[in-house]
Structure 1
Amino acid sequence: MLVRPARPLAAALALLGLMAAAPRASAETINLTLNNSGTSVTYRPNGGSSTTVNGGPFHWTQSAPLNANYATAVTTYCIDLDQTVSTGGTYTYTVQTDLKLAPTIGTAAKAAVITELFDRYYNTSLTSAASAAAFQLALWELVYDGATSKSLTAGRIQGSNSLTTSMLNSLGGAYSTHDLAGYHLVALVSGTKQDQIMVVPDYCPPPPSAVPAPPGVVLAGIGFGSLLLGRLRFRKARA
């Protein structure tokens, strides 16, 4: 009787080996506990009644397990008005290093102009409550009303803040002081809690694009070996 080679098994094992050898995407996370309630920011949602909400800067401390790629204490601004966070709460965020992929940003144009806003005014925003509120309002204007929006008289984010208007009107013009020199922005994304944006040093590594897979080379070798063994048995049976 002829012994048929175990080709289906060999092929399956070889395929498993190739699949295991392929890189698998992995998202980096960070656990943060909120230490403060932020700054009071007043605006008129969609031109309606004036309302005051809490905006950045928010100050956080990492909670276990710590992510060694980032500082233990971090500062953020809000990019999400549809969800909330609470002082003392601990939340797990996904670190999105490609700013345009943050759900509330969504485009390269928005990511670029938001980066310019931070590059111009981030340090200034940390000097007083008034500056922080103006900066947060400008950030929301760009997030919700678009990369080219420089007016607080239309769209979702409306209100009256001369400092915010000044910040927005300056975007696209020449400037010489760069607050993000040596730094870049990442988004902190959650499906259930308020998304944030954070300034991090350039030496912070990006999240790994792949996680080491099981020993794919070994699996591929098993598949190849099975294929050879099947052929040898087949030839021996015919001899």
Structure 2
Amino acid sequence: MKLRLLVAVGAVAGFLFLSPRASAELITLQLDHTVSSTVSVNLGGTPISNVAPGPYSWSDKNDPPNSNFSSPIATFCIELTGTIVVGGTYVFGVYAPEDAPTIGSADKANAIRALYGNFYNSAWTDPSFKGDNESKAFQLALWELVHETDATKTVSSGNFQTASTAATRANEMLNGLAGGLDKYNNSDYELVALIAPAPGAKDQTPGQDQLAVRPKSVPAPPAALLAGIGGMVFMGRSRLKLRRTTNTV
């Protein structure tokens, strides 16, 4: 019996030792194109002109490709500073939205998830998509959720604002977040932040932080495996006690 327990515990230890350690996930992307239109916004009193709204279309340049993402890859920008150029290649760190410095809080991240749950359109991942009023409004609403410091969320005033023709639709989206988080949680995709330069990466080329969607990841098995082994150990001890009791009668 002791030998069986030692073998079981040894198997678990070996599995945990050989299983991948938690580390920052990286992905190398090339910017293929942005949409044809631009917008002008104001952030903290500073005008920013001719900003390209999302979606941005990217190619996976990892070797081999990052299997956690499905091609084609489309993103929406969350950072209004920094520069990226079509044809440029950037190494991004992959993080939960609340862990992105540009976002920085669970409440803000959940509001963004609600926006995606109610208004994100998977057709925007098509590389041939050239942008429309809906995608532009979505980008403006996203920037509002990321950068606004006022409690009231509107792109018409506050720390982030714009006079874009898509502003009315953006405000409708901001007023229509209810129920979006539940829709997001029940979807088959997850939202991740792409941060460049990626902490710890050899390539520290400055980029611009993005949000992307990808298929939901499968939970890692070690916790379930440990629970199963714990049950084996408990059953083994119970059998051992029963055997000893039987032998002493």
TM-score by length of 2: 0.65
Which consecutive unaligned segments of at least 5 residues does structure 1 have?
1-20, 208-239
Local SS of the residue matching 1:55: coil
The one of 143, 151, 170 equivalent to 2:154 is 151
Q: Which residue is equivalent to 2:89?
A: 90
**CA positional deviation for 1:52:** 2.4
The one of 26, 29, 32 equivalent to 2:26 is 29
Contact 1:110 1:146 in 2 (8 A): no
Q: Which amino acid counterpart does residue 199 of structure 1 have in structure 2?
A: V
Equivalent residues in 2 for 1:66-77, closer than 5 Å: 66-77=65-76
Q: Which residue is equivalent to 1:168?
A: 174
**CA positional deviation for 1:146:** 4.6
Work out the CA distance in 1 between the residues paired with 2:42 and 2:102: 19
Map Cα deviations across residues 202-226 of structure 1 (whole Å, 9 max, x no partner).
1x3579xxxxxxxxxxxxxxxxxxx
**CA positional deviation for 1:25:** 4.2
Q: Which residue is equivalent to 1:46?
A: 44
What is the percent sequence identity of the aligned residues? 37
Alignment partner of 1:194 is 2:197: no
Contact 2:103 2:146 in 1 (8 A): yes
Work out the CA distance in 2 between the residues paired with 1:92 and 1:82: 17
The one of 99, 122, 125 equivalent to 2:120 is 122
The one of 54, 60, 63 equivalent to 2:61 is 63
Alignment partner of 1:103 is 2:117: no
> Alpha carbons of 1:177 and 1:114: their partners in 2 closer, same or farther (altered >3 Å)?
closer
Q: Which residue is equivalent to 2:3?
A: none
Work out the CA distance in 1 between the residues paired with 2:120 and 2:58: 17
Work out the CA distance in 2 between the residues paired with 1:111 and 1:69: 21
Local SS of the residue matching 2:81: coil
Across the two proteins, how many residue pairs are aligned to each other?
187
Q: Which amino acid counterpart does residue 190 of structure 1 have in structure 2?
A: A
Work out the CA distance in 2 between the residues paired with 1:36 and 1:29: 21
> Alpha carbons of 1:205 and 1:87: their partners in 2 closer, same or farther (altered >3 Å)?
farther
Contact 2:114 2:179 in 1 (8 A): no
For structure 1, which segment, 146-155 or 192-201, has the greater mean C-alpha deviation from structure 2 after superposition?
Answer: 146-155
Q: Which amino acid counterpart does residue 201 of structure 1 have in structure 2?
A: P
Local SS of the residue matching 1:151: coil
Local SS of the residue matching 1:134: helix
Structural RMSD (CA): 3.2
Contact 1:47 1:158 in 2 (8 A): no
Local SS of the residue matching 2:33: coil
RCO higher in structure (CA 8 A, sep ≥6): 1
Contact 2:97 2:192 in 1 (8 A): yes
Greater radius of gyration (CA): 1
Q: Which amino acid counterpart does residue 109 of structure 1 have in structure 2?
A: D
> Alpha carbons of 1:195 and 1:163: their partners in 2 closer, same or farther (altered >3 Å)?
same
TM-score by length of 1: 0.68
Work out the CA distance in 1 between the residues paired with 2:72 and 2:160: 30
Map Cα deviations across residues 105-154 of structure 1 (whole Å, 9 max, x no partner).
10000000000001111118838521111110110011011594412243
